[in-house]
Amino acid sequence: MTKYVCIDCGYIYDPAKGDERRGIAVGTSFASLPDFWRCPVCDVAKSDFAPW
Ligand SMILES: [Fe+2]
């Protein structure tokens, strides 16, 4: 699955790791993230991410 990078801070969302601290299971694709999910580092919305 494709990784996505936050264009504001450089954080990379890796589906192989998920975001367990926010309840996102390992294996969750970026497209499957809930709309309320935000960058764990700088708190921007999904729209500020681009394929890595
Ligand atoms: Fe960010």
How high is the pLDDT of residue 9?
98
**Would you list the domain boundaries of the chain?**
1-26
| Residue 39 near residue 9 (C-beta atoms within 8 A) | yes
Nearest to 4 by CA among 20, 38, 22: 38
Average pLDDT, 10 consecutive residues per value, the chain (52 residues): 97 98 97 96 98 97
pTM exceeds cut of 0.75: yes
Cα–Cα distance for residue pair 45/22, rounded to 1 Å? 14
Nearest to 40 by CA among 5, 17, 11: 11
| Residue 30 near residue 2 (C-beta atoms within 8 A) | yes
Q: What sign does the dihedral 46-11-5-48 (CA atoms) show? A: positive
Using the mean position of ligand 1's atoms as its centre, give its distance from the Cα of residue 45 in Å: 9
Using the mean position of ligand 1's atoms as its centre, give its distance from the Cα of residue 19 in Å: 13
